[in-house]
């Protein structure tokens, strides 16, 4: 993978880990995430006025992306009712690079990633998934939550593929990313209303947090879109998922959380995979 796309995906992972860690530290993490998604659309509006909208041909992919993104979020909520966050989240995120690679080979004419690239993708995925088992402790997992986590990874990967297709028609990751942010922000109150929860009640006093977090969220998203369109899709996705490992680092350094041996092994595997993808 070329240096610039690799650095873009890595920086995207750092930004993604940072704003998610900040959201989880809030009194109401769900409200913080909602505010971040909504404010990302708000801050994107002036840039859309300047840069313009994607062509009409890209809008089916934008709308399809919302369907996959919403499905992924709903699956996450279902998974969290069946197993702890520390197990569910890395299990799902670790599935994404493998699913993206499979969908890439099936639907995008990007070619085979090569043996070293494929090894790097698998190594990152194993490292991220290993975090799930390091957080498992003595919890007994049935097949249903694991199946839902894998399905969530597949729908998230499908969201990545829709982005790639949409950007190809748009010609600009920035223009496409801005439009996607605005559409997601517009869709958010609708989904909240369908669930019977007023948007204002959920967000509460999180608007200021959402504004600053959305700066990092949008930066992470646009950098990821750039990496997707200037490097191998599976490799870019795998490096982006090292955000889970960066989040672990944040919890150790800032939150002073203890880390066991298995988690250190998971981090080592994840970053080893990133190195393999860089030299592949």
Please report, in angstroms and rounded to a whole number, the separation of the first and last CA atoms in the chain: 6
**Domain-wise residue ranges, the chain:** 3-279
Rounded CA-CA distance 175/177 in Å is 6
pTM: predicted TM-score of the whole model, two decimal places: 0.86
The Cα–Cα gap between 279 and 115 comes to 12
pLDDT of residue 138: 44
- What's the pLDDT score for residue 253? 63
Distance (Å, whole) CA 95 – CA 157: 9
d(CA 131, CA 268): 11
pLDDT averaged per 10 residues, the chain (length 280): 87 86 78 86 93 93 89 75 72 87 76 77 87 61 77 91 92 93 85 72 79 93 91 86 74 61 80 80
Give me the pLDDT at residue 259, please: 62
> How many residues does this entry show for the chain?
280
Residues 6+ apart with CB under 8 A from 145: 79, 82, 83, 88
């Amino acid at each position: 993978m070329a240096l610039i796309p690799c650095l873009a995906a890595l920086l995207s992972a750092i930004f993604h880990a940072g704003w998610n860690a900040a959201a989880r530290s809030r009194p109401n993490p769900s409200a913080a995430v909602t505010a971040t998604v909504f404010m990302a659309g708000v801050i994107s509006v002036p840039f859309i006025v300047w840069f313009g909208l994607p062509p009409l041909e890209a809008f089916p992919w934008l709308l399809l992306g919302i369907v996959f993104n919403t499905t992924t979020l709903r699956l996450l909520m279902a998974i969290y009712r069946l197993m702890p966050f520390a197990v569910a989240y890395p299990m799902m995120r670790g599935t994404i690079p493998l699913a993206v690679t499979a969908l890439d080979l099936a639907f995008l004419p990007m070619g085979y990633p090569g043996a070293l690239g494929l090894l790097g993708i698998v190594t990152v995925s194993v490292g991220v998934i290993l975090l799930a088992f390091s957080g498992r402790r003595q919890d007994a997992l049935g097949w249903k939550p694991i199946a839902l986590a894998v399905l969530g990874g597949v729908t998230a990967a499908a969201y990545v593929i829709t982005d790639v297709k949409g950007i190809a028609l748009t010609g600009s990751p920035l223009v496409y990313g801005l439009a996607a942010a605005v559409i997601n922000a517009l869709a958010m109150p609708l989904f909240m209303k369908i669930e019977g929860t007023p948007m204002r009640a959920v967000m509460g006093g999180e608007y200021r947090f959402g504004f600053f977090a959305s700066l990092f969220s949008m930066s992470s998203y646009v950098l990821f879109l750039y990496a997707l369109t200037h490097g191998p899709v599976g490799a870019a996705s795998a490096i982006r998922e090292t955000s889970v490992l960066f989040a672990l680092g944040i919890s150790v350094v800032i939150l002073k959380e203890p880390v066991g041996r298995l988690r250190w092994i998971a981090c080592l595997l994840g970053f080893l995979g990133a190195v393999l993808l860089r030299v592949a």
